[in-house]
Amino acid sequence: MKSIERFVNHPVFGEGRIVDSKLRGQQLKVEFEGGLLLWLGSEGLKTHEKTAEEISQIAARRMVEAFRLGIVPRQDVERFTFGRQAEIKVVEQALANLEQGAGGSYLVEGDYGAGKSHLLEYVQHRAARAGFVVAHCELDPREVSPHRPKRVYRELVHNLRYVGDGSELSFRDILRRAVRIDVSDHEFFAPVLKRLERFERDISTSEVFWQWIEGESTKEYAAQYKGPYRLPGAGAIPALYDFSTASDFYCYILSGLSYLIRNLGMKGLVLLVDEAESVTHLWNVMAIDRGISFLEGLVRTAQNDPQLKTIDERMIHNRVRTTPYIYRDSSIALFLSTTPMVGEYTYVKMINLVKNRMVLNPLREAALVELFGHLCYIYHQAYPEFEPAPSCKDRLLNSALKEKDEGVRFFIKYWVEGLDCRRWEGQ
């Protein structure tokens, strides 16, 4: 009789096998590839069952489906990173510096398909496995625009995770653990942490409270309370401003969060911001200027710029509750990705601000050949009944190499579509 096993999908580490549970299934112990064991809350996780014989082939087919889009599954990103030794060395040094308390800013730039998002996913995976708190977001001129810093904050907080001591923590878990840390001089976290325990006792208002401090709209809940969008007893907590001049306040909150993280014994905060060039796609000059201001503040906050620990009038500040951009000492490693924007003011300003640049040039032929070999192995695992002749592989490789200047994404899609066509022809 075939053994049946239960699995879940994790946003960073991919598919994992459930090996144990407790608290009537509310906590699941999951084993991921490479031996990583995590206790995860079952709420929001979808489980599925497979027989042991299905696992390897299904995993391979899952990878091939991603390859058809020209991307590598996030959980396999370390295994499928080729020809980026110099960039990986920079990433390793950045994490080592952050572990010692020294943050920094890093710009990943390259043309479309060069592998910018792949490298950011590599950083995310590597940092998470090494015990850093990691948060990522993808900028978008409509939904997550840099000239609306609250939206960037909301996405970062929503995606924030820490893996350590055999468990996974979210933003809420970190704040629950931080209630005893003295941040009495922090404009936002001092009142938040003071009231956190009281709100946690009242289930009817705790979720509203969490959504509020995470940057979500609470208007539909707040109608039952006196005052605009407030909760009982939370009047001393500053509002999370939804206007573009609040760059100072959100950098101040993120730097304060990094301070809490370090004082909890964690290694530091890694922020990943993809599609930074979207700041130039905004609808008017003022929006672009405000978006640039927020990115500049974020970069200088990660660099722990001493000028931003006081009110610097040369930076944009909101006029409701003015704060410095940096609370005490920040412990943030910021990775921004962008396409080159030659002649663009935003691009010139970013490359002058960011201390470390990683320009992703096209992969060398030797790296592509190595990648091709690994891809062919995965394809055979996915479709074991199909084995193209060596001459067929050579022709496909040579054809793909002729298009290598189109980028890694195009190379991967070209390869998988070529094998798909040959497999279908043989059926």
The phi-psi region of residue 101 (left if phi > 0; otherwise alpha if psi is between -120 and 50; otherwise beta) is: left
> How many Cβ atoms sit within 10 Å of the Cβ of residue 306?
10
pLDDT score at 248: 94
Helix (H) or strand (E) holding 192: helix 189-201
Closest CA to 362 of 110, 158, 73, 138: 110
Q: How far apart are CA 88 and CA 92, in angstroms?
A: 6
pLDDT score at 226: 47
Give the dihedral of Cα atoms 220, 223, 228, 229; nearest 10 deg.
Answer: -40
Give the dihedral of Cα atoms 21, 27, 28, 30; nearest 10 deg.
Answer: -130
Strand partners, 273: 137, 336
pLDDT score at 184: 94
Q: Which residues of the chain have pLDDT under 70?
A: 1-3, 33-35, 51-55, 199-205, 217-236, 342-343, 426-427
**Residue 104, helix vs strand vs coil:** strand
pTM for this entry:
0.84
Task: Report DSSP letters for 55-86, one per residue.
Answer: HHHHHHHHHHHHHTTT---GGGTTTT--S-HH
Q: How far apart are CA 403 and CA 399, in angstroms?
A: 7
pLDDT score at 1: 45
Write out pLDDT tens, residues 357-377: 999 988 889 999 999 998 998
